[in-house]
């Protein structure tokens, strides 16, 4: 008798026919019911289904419906992977285990046009049509509701603190056969029992799938990622946690190799005779902008300047609708970590052929500017050009050369090139000061690694005039790009920054009131309004907190084809043009310029509805990249501080809540919690308006901006979280006893630092 030839048991062919024809998900129970199987036959059915899965006929996971291998379940989880030029939404199955069978590309029938963006996950009903697969969305899923990234350990956190993972990256030995998962997200306080760990063990970084039902939620390991404490693992955590695509499709890589070999093309303006230079961070992975300036000899512009901002001509290599274009649009932007970059374009383009390098002929889209002596933009034109850079210079070296300090080889030659750039920039700076953009001096942390990926230092990145110079040239080119397209009545992908909402202004007024700083809501709010607030604060201890609050008051910038102006820069028209290697928005603007001004192949003038969809998608992807970069820096900071656990550190209070206060380590960064339960035995009253914690008996007050000494109790590199204690135990190191923070209202000049348009490397 053939194997599993139990009376009444369906054949393999009958089971496959039922699975593919069923209108509802078909699991073991549904199959048994459909064929009227007895209890004995159900046991045989289980063995038969396992054999079919081993033979590659069907695919399933425990507790889920079966489906034919190479096909799709009737209801499954899909991930949106593309929105094409026609507005069609395409998805791929989140899980695909059919070896040798191409991953299907499924067209999604949206209920509301433009509702789904690249990267989103949906629960959908699928059907096979004559033209392929179609999906009908049932529900949009949150990423955290399905998968979680974490570290395995042998016992639950209720028995061992969350920091039981030592700083070498080893977990506690397993207790019995039970493993638990601790999430990498510092906001996730729960731990989950592991139902299936596969080949992963304590201390491993793993990607898990949530299962079970509350309150008995379990996790199953779906991918082992290795040692979470190994060099270069912190960025890997962010990549997997946020679903950032870090591998290109083979088709995309093949296309990149092919287009990289194409000649630069005819009819390009030859700018190789000009000493154009690129000024970038010393650790820059790509170079997509370069600058040149000289006095204008036109009598109609006395004391004025001519300048060129040369930008990598990415649109020449990445054509609309190509594999490169689809992959770039799916990513939206490059993501920069201390140890790696996840590029928007394959490396042969992003780091080589499109990157502007000293002594190499490169294709560029050149923005030619005419600048008045007062910094006003008097005119502009765009051309496709070939450039050959005179030098790639680090910001620090450019500043040293212009300051007459120790010069590198060819220092005097480079000074001759840089001097007119600086002189022209002084004119641009006048125009910037006249329009008074938002001026926040918020330090950027820089993580320095050695060649093995180990942390050497974490410190604020120094701000130089060289940084401000490049920022102002980039702003000028971005304004010119927007206005040039407006002149042609062509679509523009604007960088929009709207004024703050009244709700946020009211919150700012209440906040400033705690420092006795008046703020009138009836006035016309301009960027300079906030600058004047900071002038009044002067060098007070709470100045960083006021700057942070002013920043929180601002709306979030985004991309859109409808112009709402750029409030922070105090500009009426603004579009990102200067970084097409790393931002899809800039590539869209390049294509529009090429098309509107008939500059050759690669131009495109998409419809407004298509521009709106692109703007929504790349705005979301930009926020994802920012979150990944910020979280990774936090993890590096925690790893850097892990060796100082138990030591006292200088800290500053950055947030107050009813359960404690948050503080940051001076000069390093990294936010950590000081729980109110550890402040002493007395009751502490939380004043939400003043943002203070006050001891009922002692009168001790903890307030925003206050500097104090704290002991670093925990530093968790996996989550990026810190925890503090008072030196000497509870009740030690009493704070000031004044009901108000100390105020210093000395007037000061504004720092010349513009944070909204800087080059994010």
163 vs 150, 235, 280, 717, CA distance in Å?
13, 20, 39, 9
Residue 742 confidence (pLDDT): 35
Q: How far apart are CA 194 and CA 153, in angstroms?
A: 10
13 CB burial (10 A radius; 0-12, 13-18, 19+): exposed
Q: Say how far apart CA 736 and CA 601 lie, in whole Å.
A: 67
CATH number given to 635-725: 2.40.50.140
Q: Where are the domains of the chain?
A: 12-68, 75-141, 144-230, 250-498+557-632, 635-725
Token digits for 686? 């939380």
3-state helix/strand/coil string of 96-137: CCCCCCCCCCEEECCCCCCCCCCCCEEEEEEEEECCEEEEEE
10-residue mean pLDDT profile of the chain (761 residues): values are: 56 76 73 83 82 61 53 76 75 65 78 72 80 84 65 61 36 57 77 89 87 73 85 86 87 95 90 96 91 96 97 96 92 94 96 95 98 96 97 94 79 89 97 93 82 83 92 98 96 95 89 86 91 88 82 92 95 97 97 95 80 88 92 91 92 88 88 88 85 88 87 90 83 47 31 34 37
Instruction: Answer whether 75-141 and 635-725 agree in fold.
Output: yes
State how far the Cα of 662 lies from the Cα of 688, in Å rounded to an integer.
15
How many Cα atoms within 13 Å fall on the side-chain side of residue 717? 28
Nearest to 289 by CA among 469, 443, 460: 469
- In terms of Cα–Cα distance, which of 3, 5, 18, 130 is closest to 55? 3
Alpha-helical runs (H) found in 332-369:
347
What was the pLDDT predicted at 100? Answer: 44
**What CATH number has the domain spanning 75-141?**
2.40.50.140
Full strand arrangement of the beta sheet holding 684-687: 684-687, 692-695, 701-703
CATH of domain 144-230: 2.40.50
Q: What is the 3-state secondary structure (H, E, C) of 622-637?
A: HHHHHHHHHHHHHHHH
Whole-model pTM: value is: 0.74
Q: What is the CATH number of domain 12-68?
A: 1.10.10.10
Give the angle 214-216-220 at the CA atoms, nearest 5°: 110
Greatest extent of the chain over all pairs of C-alpha atoms, in Å: 103
Would you say 372 and 296 are in contact if contact means Cβ atoms under 8 Å apart? no
Neighbours of 294 (CB within 10 A): 16
């Amino acid at each position: 008798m053939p194997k599993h030839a139990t009376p009444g048991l369906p054949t393999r062919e009958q089971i496959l026919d039922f699975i593919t024809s069923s209108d509802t998900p078909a699991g073991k129970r549904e199959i048994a019911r459909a064929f009227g199987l007895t209890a004995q036959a159900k046991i045989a059915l289980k063995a038969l289904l396992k054999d079919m899965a081993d033979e590659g006929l069907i695919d399933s996971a425990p507790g889920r419906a079966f489906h034919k291998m190479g096909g799709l379940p009737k209801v499954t989880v899909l991930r949106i992977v593309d929105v094409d030029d026609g507005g069609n939404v395409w998805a791929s199955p989140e899980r695909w285990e059919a070896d040798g069978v191409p991953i299907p590309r499924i067209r999604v029938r949206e209920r509301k046009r433009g509702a789904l963006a690249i990267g989103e996950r949906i629960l959908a009903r699928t059907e096979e049509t004559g033209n392929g697969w179609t999906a009908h969305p049932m529900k949009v899923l949150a990423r955290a509701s399905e998968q979680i990234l974490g570290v395995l350990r042998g016992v639950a956190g209720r028995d061992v603190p969350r920091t039981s993972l030592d700083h070498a990256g080893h977990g506690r030995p397993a207790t019995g056969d039970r493993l638990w998962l601790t999430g990498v997200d510092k906001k996730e306080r729960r731990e989950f029992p592991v139902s299936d760990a596969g080949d992963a063990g304590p201390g491993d970084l793993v990607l898990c799938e949530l299962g079970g039902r509350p309150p008995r939620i379990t996790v199953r390991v779906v991918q082992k990622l290795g040692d979470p404490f190994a060099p270069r693992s912190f960025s890997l955590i962010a990549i997997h946690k946020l679903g950032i695509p870090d591998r290109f499709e083979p088709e995309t890589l093949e296309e990149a190799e092919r287009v990289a070999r194409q000649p630069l093309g005819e009819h390009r303006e030859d700018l190789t005779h000009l000493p154009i230079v690129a000024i970038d961070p010393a650790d820059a992975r790509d170079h997509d902008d370069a600058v040149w300036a000289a006095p204008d000899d036109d009598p109609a512009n006395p004391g004025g300047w001519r300048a060129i901002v040369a930008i990598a001509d990415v649109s020449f290599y990445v054509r609309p609708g190509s594999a490169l274009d689809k992959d770039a649009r799916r990513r939206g932007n490059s993501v920069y970590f201390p140890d790696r970059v996840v590029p928007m374009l394959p490396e042969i383009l992003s780091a080589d052929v499109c990157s502007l390098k000293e002594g190499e002929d490169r294709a560029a889209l050149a923005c030619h500017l005419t600048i008045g002596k007062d910094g006003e933009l008097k005119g502009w034109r765009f051309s496709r050009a070939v450039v050959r850079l005179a030098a790639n210079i680090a910001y620090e070296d450019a500043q040293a050369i212009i300051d007459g300090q120790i010069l590198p080889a060819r220092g005097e030659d480079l000074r001759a090139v840089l001097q007119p750039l600086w002189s022209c920039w002084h004119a641009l700076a006048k125009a910037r000061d006249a329009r008074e953009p938002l001026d926040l001096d918020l330090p950027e942390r820089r993580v320095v690694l050695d060649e093995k990926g180990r942390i050497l230092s974490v410190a604020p990145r120094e701000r130089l005039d060289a940084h401000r110079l490049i920022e102002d040239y980039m702003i000028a080119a971005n304004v010119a790009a927007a206005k040039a397209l407006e002149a042609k009545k062509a679509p523009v992908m604007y960088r929009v920054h709207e004024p703050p909402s009244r709700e946020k202004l009211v919150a700012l007024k209440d906040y400033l009131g705690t420092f006795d700083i008046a703020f009138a809501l009836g006035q016309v709010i301009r960027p300079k309004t906030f600058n004047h607030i900071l002038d009044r604060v002067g060098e007070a201890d709470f100045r960083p907190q006021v700057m942070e609050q002013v920043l929180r008051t601002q709306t979030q910038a985004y991309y859109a084809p409808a112009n709402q102006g750029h409030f922070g820069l105090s500009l009426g028209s603004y579009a990102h043009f200067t970084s097409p290697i790393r931002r899809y928005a800039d590539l869209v603007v390049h294509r529009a310029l090429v098309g509107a001004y008939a500059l050759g192949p690669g131009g495109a003038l998409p419809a407004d509805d298509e521009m709106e969809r692109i703007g929504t998608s790349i705005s979301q992807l930009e926020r994802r990249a920012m979150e990944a970069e910020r979280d990774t820096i936090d993890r590096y900071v925690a790893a850097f501080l892990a060796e100082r656990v138990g030591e006292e550190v200088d800290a500053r209070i950055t947030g107050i809540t009813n359960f404690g206060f948050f503080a940051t380590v001076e000069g390093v960064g990294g936010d950590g919690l000081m729980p109110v339960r550890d402040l002493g035995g007395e009751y502490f009253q939380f004043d939400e308006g003043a943002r203070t914690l006050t001891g009922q008996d002692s009168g001790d007050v903890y307030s925003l901006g206050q500097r104090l000494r704290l002991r670093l109790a925990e530093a968790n590199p996996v989550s990026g979280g810190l925890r503090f204690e008072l030196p000497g135990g509870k009740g030690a190191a009493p704070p000031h006893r004044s009901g108000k923070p100390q105020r210093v209202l000395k007037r000061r000049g504004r720092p010349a630092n513009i944070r909204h348009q800087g080059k994010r490397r």
